[in-house]
């Protein structure tokens, strides 16, 4: 199936979702941001990614307003901070996120990055939350192959459902080893900052390919990420216009010639590159 991703438990979600990093921070922009998220949901971009860290919970509160009345149509992702990821801390952080999100379950709950607590403790908490129905699946973020191997080595660590990492044309390191590792285990990769927070958009090759497709450079960059099976892209869009622009990337078909030109401009990794983070 094109433009969808299937989780290990069989859950099917759209490959293009919505990120919320730096959303909810400004009262002036609040209504526009809510409208943008709602527009995305209407268009079928129902994966919404947030975290307790984003705006110290303000992003989750914004998401709560945006999904009011349509909660069950949304695939909601949130994250626990590593500093909170002890057994009790993970459970407490999840309860706090549920309150801010005004929901009784989170579809996918992630450990934001590896921190001071052993994976065993965090996973035990994730499994207990799952048994109680407070989270439906659990996963991780910003984890490279070594961390994933360590995670898989512990009891029920292999029930990890996703890894959310930085991935775009300028950050292709995961293609060397992490992406194949996840694909072999049917673990979706969630790509954050798929257009490198806009820094990609002035690149001449992207601009040329965009003009041929009557598209924008952002749409080409997104279409490039979305061409990969098993990858969910979560670009942030604070306005309805921006949401529509992202949505239209789904209808762009990059030719072999386009892909070759992009490979030339943004070479694939030929060796291991440590996982990058923003």
Beta pairing partners, 48: 18, 76
Query: What are the φ and ψ backbone dihedral angles of 192, each rounded to 5 degrees?
Result: -95, 160
Please compute Rg for the chain using Cα positions. 18
Structure tokens that stand for 267 in this block: 């070479």
Two tokens, residue 105: 């379950």
Q: Which of 110, 80, 83 is nearest to 95 (CA)?
A: 80
Please check whether residue 247 is in contact with residue 43, taking contact to mean a CB–CB distance below 8 angstroms.
yes
Q: Is 112 annotated as a binding residue?
A: yes
Show the DSSP H helices in the chain as ranges: 30-42, 58-67, 87-101, 119-131, 145-152, 178-184, 204-212, 217-226, 240-248, 256-265
Give the largest Cα separation in the chain, rounded. Answer: 54
Question: Strand, helix or coil at 55?
Answer: helix
CA dist., res. 221 & res. 258, Å (int): 11
Q: Token pair for residue 191?
A: 């790509």
Active-site option among 54, 109, 192, 247: 54
Can 54 be counted among the known catalytic residues?
yes
Instruction: Please answer whether residues 20 and 236 qualify as being in contact, where contact means their C-beta atoms are separated by less than 8 angstroms.
Output: yes
Cβ burial of 154 (10 Å; 0-12, 13-18, 19+) is middle
Mark the binding-site residues, compressed into ranges: 112
| Residues known to be catalytic | 54
Mark the binding-site residues for substrate, compressed into ranges: 112
């Amino acid at each position: 199936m094109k433009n969808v991703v299937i989780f290990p438990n069989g859950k099917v979600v759209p490959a293009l979702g919505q990120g919320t990093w730096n959303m909810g921070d400004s009262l002036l922009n609040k209504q526009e941001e809510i409208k943008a998220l709602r527009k995305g949901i209407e268009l079928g971009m129902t994966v919404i990614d947030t975290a307790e860290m984003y705006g110290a919970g303000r992003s989750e509160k914004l998401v709560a307003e945006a999904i009011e009345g349509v909660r069950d149509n949304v695939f909601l992702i949130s994250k626990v901070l590593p500093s909170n990821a002890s057994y009790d801390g993970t459970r407490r952080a999840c309860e706090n996120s549920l309150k801010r999100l005004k929901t009784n379950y989170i579809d996918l709950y992630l450990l934001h990055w590896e921190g001071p607590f052993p994976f065993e403790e965090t996973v035990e908490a994730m499994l207990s939350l799952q048994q109680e129905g407070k989270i439906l699946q659990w996963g991780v973020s910003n984890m490279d192959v070594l961390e994933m191997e360590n995670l898989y080595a512990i009891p029920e660590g292999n029930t990890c459902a996703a890894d959310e990492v930085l991935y775009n044309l300028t950050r292709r390191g995961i293609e060397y080893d992490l992406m194949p590792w996840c694909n072999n285990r049917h673990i979706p990769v969630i790509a954050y900052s798929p257009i490198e927070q806009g820094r990609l958009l002035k690149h001449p090759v992207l601009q040329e390919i965009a003009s041929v497709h009557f598209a924008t450079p952002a749409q080409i960059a997104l279409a490039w990420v979305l061409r990969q099976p098993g990858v969910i892209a979560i670009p942030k869009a604070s306005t309805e216009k921006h949401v529509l622009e992202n949505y239209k990337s789904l209808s762009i078909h990059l030719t072999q010639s386009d892909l070759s030109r992009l490979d030339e401009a943004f070479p694939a990794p030929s060796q291991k590159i440590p996982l990058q983070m923003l």
